[in-house]
Amino acid sequence: MARDPKYDILFEPIQFGPKTMKNRFYQVPHCNGAGSERPGTQAAFRGTKAEGGWGGICTEACSIDYEADTAPSVLASLWDEGDIINLRHLCDSLHKWDALAGVELWHMGSAVANLDTRTAPSSPTQSTSDWSIGTYSHEPDEAEIIELQEMYVESAKRAVQCGFDIVYVYGSHGVLPVQFLSRFYNKRTDKYGGSFENRARFWLETIEKVKEAVGHECAIAVRISVDQIMGPEGVQAEDDGIGFIELATRRGLVDLWDVNVSTFSEWGEDAGPSRFYKANHQAPFTRHVKSVAKVPVINVGRFTSPDDMVHVINSGQADIIGGARPSISDPFLPKKVEEGRLEDIRECIGCNICVSRWERGAPLVCTQNPVANEEYRRGWHPEEFDQVEDAGSVLVVGAGPAGSECARVLGRRGYDVHLVEAEAEIGGHVRDVMRYPGMAEWSRITSYRQAQLDKLGNVEVHTNARLDAEAVLTYGADKVVLCTGSRWAADGFSHITMAGIPGIDAAAPHFATPDQVMAGKDIGERVVILDADGYFTGVSMAEMLADQGKQVSIVTQFADAAPLMEYTLEAPNLHRMMHEKGIAQYGGTWVEECEPGNVVKVRLFNLSRDGYKRTVEPRPGEPVRKAGSETTTIDADSVILVTARLSNNALYRSLWERRERWAEEEIAGIYQAGDCYAPRLTGDAIFDGHRIAREFESKNPQRPLPYRRERMIWGRDEEPLAAN
């Protein structure tokens, strides 16, 4: 199909500085964990987006000098010839598809940790980092400020050697230039501090020097948090934010404004999780920029709908649609709009698992797009699948995230697939999750896969069909993949004690698993949630029940509820929400027993109650510390069990017991994917279903094939090779 003319504006070219971009789809800078160190991954990941139609594509933040690193998390760098070679490969991969290549020159001032380079960072005023524990910055004098600006200029020159088209002097998210601009961070009394003009001086001079050095070849872009969402202490849109844009505009320094909000310590205000922020949530702060900027303006806002994008441009909010997460979730989003295939867009769900992996020092993954960051090392393409000649038939049991993804990929590869689901609809646990407070966008996991399965003539979906082992064996499939999911432990089992909690039984009225809560089990007024899981389920139960007027407490062994949400950027607003809704928490605490009755007595113990000194003379059978015994009892009408998930693997075990029948029934293999093999994050379950389908002809698809690793091989300088 041709594209709908109402989307034509998204495909109009636009000029900024010496460059013209072919359309209005622009991947703003975002991390993927490849940096300059994994050039294959970097180029293939972003090159795929160029192939998918994004007109401009940027690196992640790119360090200008040894003075700024974020180890163990990986950023790009432009420090030396090696970086030039590696990032040139990225530029070539983008130019191949007529996309512009952008680089975000970065120094994070006092906030960098420099755990790798061990260099003291500079910042306008000496302070400890508000992001990295134990880091103090150096306060540069005016001569050292000029050296800092030279670092930007020299790295910009190296960017030109790579072939970059757009060079950023990056100032969003509380990095060095905006630390100078901010009256909160900048307490200087020289010409770089005090008045607004003085605080703006460092950034303006730096842009000017970079423009003078490379502006004839590259467009000069500035990424600015026009409002730091700190109130009057920080940069505000109506004050220094717009004021800085006016100053730079008067001097004609900037070719392209890339506008967002937030500081790094709370950058979930920018990369807003869908739990708290919907698409275009930044507009109240960013929409005023176009009235003062005389050059094109980019806005972000997790735009996945082309109608929203058209509205942003036609309403005068921005000229270019910036996307980080939408481009990760679907690198081919522009092409799908162009080809009139909107139903094929794999929309981002705003979960921020992509962010969480980088924050934990690991390469990016995506819940919706299992191919993200696998383009190079596994050789996968998000829209192309190896076809199998004489593909046989496959029975996939269970249509949750892993099963529906597995069936989709097997179908795309040419297999004759039957996807059989016990419930009335596909979706598995996501059908519950999307009803948790603020998590409606998780329904996109299922709706995307439903739409894709509907298109595949060689995939049949059968619902309301529960298969036992005999039914699987006699189904007539050549191979079987079980994707039967997981369930919450009914007895309070967790890794803390590796046992159930005495007195707990989810079959009794006063106890409930999250599945039972969502199925409508009666919940009393005083609710205690036992959360050893640490992600969204416990706090979602808490919010949902608090919204029903119940008195809710969370007991967790972690210091705080839901520590994984620190990495997904949800934690700050999560804790505000819990405070506002009166949800109490007992951190560093677990449960010795629950005494059932009309009121459940929940006996809590502090995880640090044992003595801190070890015994001097160890004896077999005796504790090595003075054993603590104190407990605190709280009363509950209902106890919710978010203690551990367990694989639903009874069907597999039953089939394994009958394994001599597999050959008799001409079944070549029975495998497990997703939670039924091991419970995991939804994105990892989808990945598992995808991977097994990609590698279905391998000797044992249950085991992942080796992948290509990018690392230095001692004594060799050739490109790294696959491990097998």
**Which spans of this chain sit near ligand SF4 (rule: CB under 6 A)?**
325, 328-329, 348-354, 366-368
Set 168, 170, 376, 586: catalytic member: 170
Torsion of CA 208, 212, 217, 221, to 10 degrees: 0
Cβ-Cβ contacts under 8 Å for 450 (sequence gap 6 or more) = 404, 426
C-alpha to C-alpha distance for 227 and 261, rounded to whole angstroms? 5
Residue 170 annotated to the active site: yes
Pair of tokens at residue 118: 């061990």
Q: Is 150 exposed, middle or buried (0-12, 13-18, 19+ CB in 10 A)?
A: middle
Of 538, 513, 481, which is closest to residue 685 (Cα–Cα)? 481
Q: Tell whether the torsion through CA atoms of 468, 473, 474 and 475 is positive or negative.
A: positive
Peptide bond preceding 72 in cis form (omega within 30 of 0): yes
CA distances to 34, 99, 222, 427 from 412, in Å:
29, 28, 42, 19
C-alpha to C-alpha distance for 109 and 117, rounded to whole angstroms? 14
Q: What is the DSSP string of 456-491?
A: -TTEEEE-S----HHHHHTS--SEEEE---EEE-SS
| Tally of helices (H runs) and strands (E runs) in the chain | 22, 26
Pair of tokens at residue 371: 């191919």
Set 165, 227, 258, 270: catalytic member: 270
Cβ-Cβ contacts under 8 Å for 318 (sequence gap 6 or more) = 259, 286, 287, 289, 290, 297, 298, 299, 312
Q: What is the DSSP string of 606-649?
A: ETT-S-SSBPSS--TTS-SBPPP---EEEEESEEEEES-EEE--
Set 30, 107, 173, 575: catalytic member: 173
Asked whether 303 and 24 are in contact (CB, 8 A), the reply is no
- Residue 595, SS3 per DSSP: strand
Angle at the Cα of 693 from the Cα atoms of 466 and 429, rounded to 5 degrees: 45
Pair of tokens at residue 137: 């910055």
C-alpha to C-alpha distance for 311 and 137, rounded to whole angstroms? 44
Of 52, 38, 60, 36, which is closest to residue 94 (Cα–Cα)? 52
Crossing angle of helices 196-214/242-250, nearest 10°? Answer: 50
Residue 610 annotated to the active site: no
C-alpha to C-alpha distance for 347 and 326, rounded to whole angstroms? 7
Alpha helix stretches (DSSP H) within 350-439: 353-359, 401-412, 430-433
Residue 351 annotated to the active site: no
Pair of tokens at residue 241: 């934010």
In single-letter form, the type of residue at position 270 comes to D
CB of 350 to ligand SF4, least distance (A): 5
C-alpha to C-alpha distance for 348 and 355, rounded to whole angstroms? 13
Residue 366 annotated to the active site: no
CA distances to 295, 375, 425, 587, 590 from 166, in Å:
14, 24, 47, 47, 53
Active site residues: 31, 170, 173, 270
